[in-house]
Amino acid sequence: MKKISYSILLVLLLFVSFFPVEASANTTPQVDETEKIYDFAELLTSQEEAELYEKIQEFITLYQMDMVIVTIDDNPKSSARDYADDFYDYNDFGIGDTYDGLLMLIDMDNREVWISTTGNAILMYNDTRIDRILDYVQPNLSVEDYMEASEDFIYYSSQYAKKGYPSGNSDYMINENGEYVKKPNVSFSSVSDILGFLGKIGIIPTILTVIIISIGCSTHKSVRKATSAKNYLKQDSFHLAQKQDLFLHTHTTKTYINTSSGSGGSSTHTSSSGRSHGGGGRGF
């Protein structure tokens, strides 16, 4: 009898070891992915949810990235990061083949906020930008202003998307598997390789057009534009009697340019579903 029990236990352990995805999926709530706001911890009013939903829809339309807000008061997973990643993956969020988008989880069980990024959102929101967004979100969570925290998440995510991809990720890309990888170095061993590369990116037709236009312009003679007023003056007819320099005024403007959001790349990890995610979080 004991041998049978041990055998069953061994089979169960092997099953969990080889099929962790199923276990993670079973502890992830299944939701309607069109709702975008899932207030399981009941931190928001119905009116607040409606207002946030409108702002999220505007973000999705403008920047072609999905956006989700989740609140929980019980976390059955090992961390806020795991819950955020699994909730996004197993509920089929994301836009395009690389599931572009980001999710903010307010975990009241662990008193932690986590922002999870997927696909091209990993490129858009590098570690520096994630930290900056959390700088605005975390203080509001500490004083239990969950609506303001959610609005700040949407607003600053929008501001960074409006700026475009940060310079810190200029050498990286998201491949067809949704992975954050270094861009390949392009090297040419022959003239045919160069022509082949230019043809793939559509440069050759442009070059030919420029050559044809240049030839046409060089064979067409036109009236030259005068570059000096002396062409219209009678020789020795003008004499300067007195010269005086007057300093009138000067005006200087200053514009502050914040470059900190462009520095650094994105840290990534693999979730239980096998997808790559970026992001970050902190306690509150």
Summarize pLDDT for 234-254 with one digit per residue, the tens: 555 555 555 554 444 434 333
* Alpha-carbon distances of 119 from 91, 100, 243, rounded to whole Å: 15, 4, 67
What burial class does residue 255 get, using C-beta atoms within 10 Å of its C-beta: 0-12 exposed, 13-18 middle, 19+ buried?
exposed
pLDDT of residue 220: 54
pLDDT digits (tens, 9 = 90+) for 66-92: 999 999 999 999 999 999 999 999 999
SS3 63: helix
Q: What is the DSSP letter of 224?
A: P
Neighbours of 21 (CB within 10 A): 15
Listed by start position, the domains of the chain span 32-170
pLDDT for 2 beyond 90: no
Band (197; pLDDT cuts 50, 70, 90): low
**pLDDT for position 244:** 52
Identify the residue whose tokens are 């609140």: 71
The angle, 0 to 180 degrees and rounded to 10, between the axes of the packed helices 203-218 and 191-200 is 100
The pLDDT of residue 157 is above 80: yes
Predicted local confidence at residue 185, as pLDDT: 83
Count of alpha carbons within 13 Å of 242, Cβ hemisphere only? Answer: 2
Q: How far apart are CA 59 and CA 38, in angstroms?
A: 17
- Residue with the larger pLDDT of the pair 3 and 24: 24
Q: Does pLDDT of 163 surpass 60?
A: yes
148 dihedral zone (left: phi>0; alpha: psi -120 to 50; beta): alpha
Per-residue pLDDT at 17: 47
Tens digit of each residue's pLDDT (9 = 90 or more) over 93-126: 999 999 999 999 999 999 999 999 999 999 999 9
Could you give the CA distance from residue 268 to residue 127 in angstroms, rounded to a whole number? 10
> Could you tell me the pLDDT band of residue 205, with boundaries at 50, 70 and 90?
low
Split at pLDDT 50, 70, 90, the class of 194 is low
Residue linked to tokens 């080889």: 18
State the CB neighbour count (10 A cutoff) for residue 26: 10
Regarding the domain delimited by 32-170, which CATH topology (the fold level of the hierarchy) does it fall under?
Diaminopimelate Epimerase; Chain A, domain 1 (3.10.310)
| Neighbouring-strand partners of residue 279 | 116
Beta 269-270 vs 276-283: how paired, if at all? antiparallel
Tally of CB atoms within 10 A around 115: 26
Residue 159 falls in which region: left (phi positive, over 0), alpha (psi -120 to 50) or beta: alpha
Note the pTM of the prediction, 2 decimals.
0.69
